[in-house]
Protein backbone atom coordinates (compact mmCIF):
# COMPACT_ATOMS: atom_id res chain seq x y z
CA UNK A 1 0.00 0.00 0.00
CA UNK A 2 1.18 3.52 -0.68
CA UNK A 3 2.35 5.18 2.49
CA UNK A 4 -0.83 7.23 2.38
CA UNK A 5 -0.77 8.09 6.06
CA UNK A 6 2.65 9.68 5.56
CA UNK A 7 1.42 11.58 2.51
CA UNK A 8 -1.63 12.88 4.34
CA UNK A 9 0.45 13.93 7.36
CA UNK A 10 2.87 15.72 5.04
CA UNK A 11 0.01 17.61 3.36
CA UNK A 12 -1.44 18.58 6.75
CA UNK A 13 1.95 19.84 7.90
CA UNK A 14 2.15 21.96 4.77
CA UNK A 15 -1.28 23.47 5.42
CA UNK A 16 -0.63 24.48 9.02
CA UNK A 17 2.67 26.05 8.04
CA UNK A 18 1.19 27.97 5.11
CA UNK A 19 1.72 31.34 6.74
CA UNK A 20 5.42 30.80 7.19
CA UNK A 21 6.18 29.71 3.63
CA UNK A 22 6.15 31.41 0.25
CA UNK A 23 3.33 30.39 -2.12
CA UNK A 24 5.69 30.11 -5.10
CA UNK A 25 6.47 26.55 -6.12
CA UNK A 26 9.93 26.14 -7.60
CA UNK A 27 11.50 22.79 -8.46
CA UNK A 28 15.29 23.12 -8.41
CA UNK A 29 17.68 20.18 -8.28
CA UNK A 30 18.05 18.63 -4.83
CA UNK A 31 14.91 20.21 -3.41
CA UNK A 32 14.90 20.87 0.31
CA UNK A 33 11.99 20.34 2.68
CA UNK A 34 11.00 24.01 2.83
CA UNK A 35 10.91 24.12 -1.00
CA UNK A 36 8.63 21.10 -1.24
CA UNK A 37 5.92 22.42 1.06
CA UNK A 38 4.69 25.21 -1.27
CA UNK A 39 4.42 22.68 -4.08
CA UNK A 40 2.26 20.38 -1.98
CA UNK A 41 0.12 23.35 -0.94
CA UNK A 42 -0.46 24.65 -4.47
CA UNK A 43 -0.94 21.22 -6.11
CA UNK A 44 -4.33 19.93 -7.15
CA UNK A 45 -5.64 16.43 -7.83
CA UNK A 46 -6.05 15.68 -11.54
CA UNK A 47 -8.48 12.81 -11.02
CA UNK A 48 -12.18 13.50 -10.62
CA UNK A 49 -13.29 12.63 -7.11
CA UNK A 50 -15.78 9.75 -7.31
CA UNK A 51 -19.21 9.96 -5.74
CA UNK A 52 -19.04 7.01 -3.36
CA UNK A 53 -21.92 5.82 -1.24
CA UNK A 54 -21.44 5.08 2.48
CA UNK A 55 -21.57 1.37 1.59
CA UNK A 56 -18.76 1.80 -0.96
CA UNK A 57 -16.63 3.68 1.55
CA UNK A 58 -17.14 0.80 3.98
CA UNK A 59 -16.85 -2.16 1.61
CA UNK A 60 -14.75 -0.81 -1.26
CA UNK A 61 -15.28 1.52 -4.24
CA UNK A 62 -16.07 -1.47 -6.47
CA UNK A 63 -18.90 -2.68 -4.18
CA UNK A 64 -22.19 -3.09 -6.05
CA UNK A 65 -25.16 -2.45 -3.75
CA UNK A 66 -27.51 -3.95 -6.37
CA UNK A 67 -25.72 -7.31 -6.00
CA UNK A 68 -24.28 -7.25 -2.47
CA UNK A 69 -23.81 -11.03 -2.19
CA UNK A 70 -21.83 -11.21 -5.44
CA UNK A 71 -18.71 -9.78 -3.78
CA UNK A 72 -19.46 -10.70 -0.16
CA UNK A 73 -16.44 -12.99 0.13
CA UNK A 74 -14.13 -10.16 -1.00
CA UNK A 75 -14.85 -7.63 1.74
CA UNK A 76 -15.02 -7.87 5.51
CA UNK A 77 -16.84 -6.09 8.32
CA UNK A 78 -16.02 -5.47 11.96
CA UNK A 79 -18.43 -8.27 12.94
CA UNK A 80 -16.81 -10.91 10.70
CA UNK A 81 -14.88 -13.77 12.29
CA UNK A 82 -12.57 -14.90 9.50
CA UNK A 83 -11.49 -18.52 9.07
CA UNK A 84 -8.26 -19.14 7.17
CA UNK A 85 -5.28 -21.48 6.65
CA UNK A 86 -1.77 -20.08 7.18
CA UNK A 87 0.26 -19.33 4.04
CA UNK A 88 4.04 -19.02 4.65
CA UNK A 89 5.24 -15.79 3.04
CA UNK A 90 7.05 -13.12 5.08
CA UNK A 91 9.68 -15.52 6.44
CA UNK A 92 10.97 -15.77 2.85
CA UNK A 93 11.37 -12.00 2.42
CA UNK A 94 14.74 -10.29 2.79
CA UNK A 95 12.92 -7.13 3.86
CA UNK A 96 9.73 -8.18 5.56
CA UNK A 97 8.86 -4.91 7.31
CA UNK A 98 8.18 -4.33 11.01
CA UNK A 99 4.44 -4.59 11.53
CA UNK A 100 3.14 -8.00 12.64
CA UNK A 101 1.33 -9.74 9.80
CA UNK A 102 0.79 -13.00 7.98
CA UNK A 103 -0.89 -14.27 4.85
CA UNK A 104 -3.54 -16.98 4.82
CA UNK A 105 -5.84 -18.79 2.43
CA UNK A 106 -9.48 -17.83 2.87
CA UNK A 107 -11.68 -20.61 4.26
CA UNK A 108 -15.44 -21.04 4.40
CA UNK A 109 -17.05 -21.62 7.76
CA UNK A 110 -17.65 -25.31 6.89
CA UNK A 111 -13.97 -26.08 6.22
CA UNK A 112 -13.74 -25.41 2.48
CA UNK A 113 -11.86 -22.69 0.63
CA UNK A 114 -12.90 -19.71 -1.46
CA UNK A 115 -11.56 -19.50 -5.00
CA UNK A 116 -10.24 -16.17 -6.24
CA UNK A 117 -13.69 -15.62 -7.77
CA UNK A 118 -15.55 -16.46 -4.58
CA UNK A 119 -16.56 -19.99 -5.54
CA UNK A 120 -16.38 -22.71 -2.87
CA UNK A 121 -13.62 -25.32 -3.14
CA UNK A 122 -14.16 -28.51 -1.14
CA UNK A 123 -11.17 -30.68 -0.25
CA UNK A 124 -10.74 -33.37 2.41
CA UNK A 125 -7.01 -32.99 2.97
CA UNK A 126 -4.44 -30.40 1.88
CA UNK A 127 -0.73 -29.75 1.91
CA UNK A 128 1.48 -26.71 1.51
CA UNK A 129 4.31 -26.97 -1.01
CA UNK A 130 7.19 -24.46 -0.93
CA UNK A 131 8.52 -23.71 -4.41
CA UNK A 132 11.73 -21.91 -5.31
CA UNK A 133 11.96 -19.67 -8.38
CA UNK A 134 15.49 -18.32 -8.57
CA UNK A 135 16.05 -16.73 -5.17
CA UNK A 136 12.35 -16.35 -4.40
CA UNK A 137 10.34 -18.86 -2.38
CA UNK A 138 6.57 -19.06 -2.43
CA UNK A 139 3.92 -21.32 -0.91
CA UNK A 140 1.24 -23.12 -2.93
CA UNK A 141 -1.73 -25.21 -1.85
CA UNK A 142 -2.45 -28.74 -3.12
CA UNK A 143 -4.78 -31.60 -2.24
CA UNK A 144 -3.15 -34.06 0.13
CA UNK A 145 -3.49 -36.91 -2.39
CA UNK A 146 -1.93 -34.92 -5.26
CA UNK A 147 1.30 -36.94 -5.15
CA UNK A 148 3.10 -35.07 -7.96
CA UNK A 149 1.73 -31.62 -7.07
CA UNK A 150 0.10 -31.28 -10.49
CA UNK A 151 -3.08 -29.39 -9.63
CA UNK A 152 -2.61 -26.31 -7.49
CA UNK A 153 -5.64 -25.20 -5.53
CA UNK A 154 -6.17 -21.59 -6.59
CA UNK A 155 -7.55 -20.47 -3.27
CA UNK A 156 -8.10 -16.84 -2.42
CA UNK A 157 -5.61 -15.41 0.08
CA UNK A 158 -5.11 -12.11 1.88
CA UNK A 159 -3.03 -10.42 4.58
CA UNK A 160 -3.85 -10.21 8.28
CA UNK A 161 -2.22 -7.56 10.47
CA UNK A 162 -2.47 -8.22 14.18
CA UNK A 163 -1.55 -7.04 17.65
CA UNK A 164 -0.59 -9.47 20.37
CA UNK A 165 -1.54 -8.44 23.93
CA UNK A 166 -0.37 -6.80 26.02
CA UNK A 167 -0.06 -3.97 23.55
CA UNK A 168 0.11 -0.71 25.57
CA UNK A 169 3.35 1.16 24.84
CA UNK A 170 3.98 -0.89 21.75
CA UNK A 171 5.97 0.28 18.73
CA UNK A 172 3.84 2.95 17.02
CA UNK A 173 4.49 1.18 13.71
CA UNK A 174 2.06 -1.51 14.91
CA UNK A 175 -0.73 1.08 14.76
CA UNK A 176 -1.01 0.20 11.06
CA UNK A 177 -3.66 -2.28 12.20
CA UNK A 178 -5.89 0.76 12.66
CA UNK A 179 -4.39 3.58 10.57
CA UNK A 180 -4.34 1.68 7.27
CA UNK A 181 -8.10 1.19 7.52
CA UNK A 182 -8.61 4.95 7.80
CA UNK A 183 -5.97 5.79 5.17
CA UNK A 184 -7.53 3.45 2.60
CA UNK A 185 -10.92 5.20 2.99
CA UNK A 186 -9.32 8.60 2.48
CA UNK A 187 -7.60 7.37 -0.68
CA UNK A 188 -10.87 5.87 -2.02
CA UNK A 189 -12.68 9.13 -1.22
CA UNK A 190 -10.10 11.11 -3.22
CA UNK A 191 -10.27 8.69 -6.17
CA UNK A 192 -6.88 7.04 -5.76
CA UNK A 193 -6.47 3.26 -6.00
CA UNK A 194 -5.55 1.74 -2.66
CA UNK A 195 -5.50 -1.62 -0.97
CA UNK A 196 -8.77 -2.88 0.51
CA UNK A 197 -8.21 -2.89 4.27
CA UNK A 198 -10.96 -3.82 6.72
CA UNK A 199 -11.39 -4.01 10.49
CA UNK A 200 -12.57 -7.49 11.47
CA UNK A 201 -13.86 -9.09 14.63
CA UNK A 202 -11.26 -11.86 14.69
CA UNK A 203 -9.17 -14.15 12.51
CA UNK A 204 -9.02 -17.89 13.27
CA UNK A 205 -5.91 -19.22 11.54
CA UNK A 206 -5.19 -22.95 11.18
CA UNK A 207 -1.44 -23.57 11.19
CA UNK A 208 -0.54 -20.26 12.83
CA UNK A 209 1.49 -19.94 16.00
CA UNK A 210 0.60 -17.21 18.49
CA UNK A 211 3.07 -14.92 16.70
CA UNK A 212 3.83 -16.26 13.19
CA UNK A 213 5.56 -13.07 12.05
CA UNK A 214 8.20 -12.88 14.78
CA UNK A 215 8.56 -16.67 14.69
CA UNK A 216 9.43 -16.55 10.96
CA UNK A 217 7.05 -19.42 10.32
CA UNK A 218 8.16 -21.11 7.08
CA UNK A 219 5.76 -24.05 6.72
CA UNK A 220 2.28 -25.27 7.53
CA UNK A 221 1.67 -28.96 8.09
CA UNK A 222 -1.57 -28.53 10.02
CA UNK A 223 -4.64 -30.63 9.34
CA UNK A 224 -7.88 -28.91 8.41
CA UNK A 225 -9.29 -30.42 11.61
CA UNK A 226 -6.65 -28.83 13.85
CA UNK A 227 -7.74 -26.10 16.25
CA UNK A 228 -6.97 -22.61 14.95
CA UNK A 229 -5.09 -19.82 16.67
CA UNK A 230 -7.46 -16.88 17.14
CA UNK A 231 -6.28 -13.26 16.72
CA UNK A 232 -8.67 -10.68 18.16
CA UNK A 233 -7.10 -7.30 17.30
CA UNK A 234 -6.74 -7.51 13.54
CA UNK A 235 -7.33 -5.96 10.14
CA UNK A 236 -7.62 -7.83 6.85
CA UNK A 237 -6.01 -6.48 3.67
CA UNK A 238 -6.43 -7.34 0.01
CA UNK A 239 -3.62 -5.78 -1.96
CA UNK A 240 -4.36 -3.79 -5.11
CA UNK A 241 -2.87 -5.55 -8.16
CA UNK A 242 -0.11 -3.43 -9.66
CA UNK A 243 2.16 -3.95 -12.64
CA UNK A 244 5.69 -4.51 -11.37
CA UNK A 245 8.16 -1.69 -12.00
CA UNK A 246 11.18 -2.94 -13.92
CA UNK A 247 13.97 -0.37 -13.49
CA UNK A 248 16.36 -1.97 -16.00
CA UNK A 249 16.72 0.24 -19.06
CA UNK A 250 14.67 3.07 -17.53
CA UNK A 251 16.85 5.82 -16.09
CA UNK A 252 13.87 7.47 -14.34
CA UNK A 253 13.70 4.63 -11.80
CA UNK A 254 16.32 3.19 -9.52
CA UNK A 255 15.94 -0.22 -7.91
CA UNK A 256 17.50 1.27 -4.78
CA UNK A 257 14.48 3.54 -4.44
CA UNK A 258 11.88 0.77 -4.70
CA UNK A 259 10.98 -1.06 -1.51
CA UNK A 260 8.27 -3.65 -1.23
CA UNK A 261 6.72 -4.94 1.99
Provide the 8-state DSSP code for 145. Answer: T
Q: Put residue 150 in one of left, alpha, beta given phi > 0 → left and psi -120 to 50 → alpha.
A: alpha
Top mean pLDDT of 10-24, 106-120, 162-176, 234-248 is at 106-120
Given a contact cutoff of 8 angstroms between Cβ atoms, the answer to whether 147 and 140 are in contact is no
Residue range 29-56: mean pLDDT, rounded: 83
Q: Where are the domains of the chain?
A: 1-44, 55-257
Q: What pLDDT does residue 21 have? A: 42
Each residue's pLDDT tens digit, 173-211: 888 999 999 999 999 998 888 999 999 999 999 999 999
Given a contact cutoff of 8 angstroms between Cβ atoms, the answer to whether 237 and 196 are in contact is yes
Number of neighbouring beta carbons within 10 Å of residue 70 = 11
Provide the 8-state DSSP code for 29. Answer: T
d(CA 40, CA 191): 18
Q: What pLDDT does residue 168 have? A: 65
- Calculate the average pLDDT of the chain: 84
Number of neighbouring beta carbons within 10 Å of residue 154 = 15
Q: What share of the chain in percent tops pLDDT 90? A: 57
Residue range 145-160: mean pLDDT, rounded: 96
Amino acid sequence: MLRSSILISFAFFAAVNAGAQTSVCEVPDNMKKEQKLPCVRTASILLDRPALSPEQLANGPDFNAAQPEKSRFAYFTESDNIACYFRPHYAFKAIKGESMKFQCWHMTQDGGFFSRKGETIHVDDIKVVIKTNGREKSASLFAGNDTNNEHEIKADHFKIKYLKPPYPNHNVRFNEVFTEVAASRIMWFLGFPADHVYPVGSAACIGCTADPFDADLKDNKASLKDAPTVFKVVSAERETPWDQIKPDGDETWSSRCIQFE
